[in-house]
Amino acid sequence: MDAVHSLLLVFHIAAGSVSLLTAGVALVTAKGGRWHVGAGRVYAGGMTLVFVTAIPLAILANSTFLFLIALFSFYLVFAGWRFARNRRRRAHPVDWIAVAVIATTGLCMWGYAAILGLNGSGQWVTLALFGGIAIALGAADANFHRTQPRGQRRVARHLTNMMAGTIATITAVTVVNVNMEPVWVPWILPTIVITPLITWWNIRVLRPSRPS
């Protein structure tokens, strides 16, 4: 069992490293260009492998906390990829299933946050915050699927989810390499720092274009 855990951990770390590097490439290259699209595909593939290895690692560690974080992180990338691919803006059953999963995950995070808080674990703060984000993103994505708006809103949903997925990747690196108290600080610090950038980016994308 230790050998299985070690092997899964190697693939998990390697996939996370590739995802972090390709996320950087996607961020600095022209949106919709060859490099951006290629990096985005590698990033999505890497994050999928992160998820596939994270689930058994969480089960082996008997960690409900990590299991919920894995579901939350994967949804961000999956939804971001779907918004990039679904140019016709018509939701497929898999999109609605994904929204239901992230909403349920958010509620489970809140429930488990209450349990952790009652047991004196500071990680209730992490799950309370991420649970709120999960429910908010699920509601926003569901509203998009329901209304099918035109314009740049599809791009905005793509950017929001992909950037949130990048936060998850940076969070993993921060948690492993930064030892801070309270215990929840490394978990939420990347979210606090990068979320204003996502908000600014959305404002730019959704701003009406000026006539030339």
Domain map of the chain by residue range? 2-206
Tell me the per-residue pLDDT of 10-44, one tens digit each, with 9 for 90 and over.
999 999 899 989 988 988 888 778 898 899 899 99
Residue with the two structure tokens 């069992």: 1
**Buried-exposed string 122-147: b where 16+ CB fall within 10 A, e elsewhere:** ebbbbbbbbbebbbebbebbbebbee
Q: What is the pLDDT of residue 1?
A: 67
Q: What band does 73 get if pLDDT is binned at 50, 70 and 90?
A: very high
Inform me whether the pLDDT recorded for 212 exceeds 50.
no
Q: In which element (H, E) is residue 196 found?
A: helix 185-206
On whether the CB atoms of residues 167 and 191 are closer than 8 A, the answer is yes
**Is the pLDDT score of 192 beyond 60?**
yes
pLDDT at site 177 = 80
Mean pLDDT of the chain: 89
**Is the pLDDT score of 47 beyond 80?**
yes
pLDDT at position 211 = 46
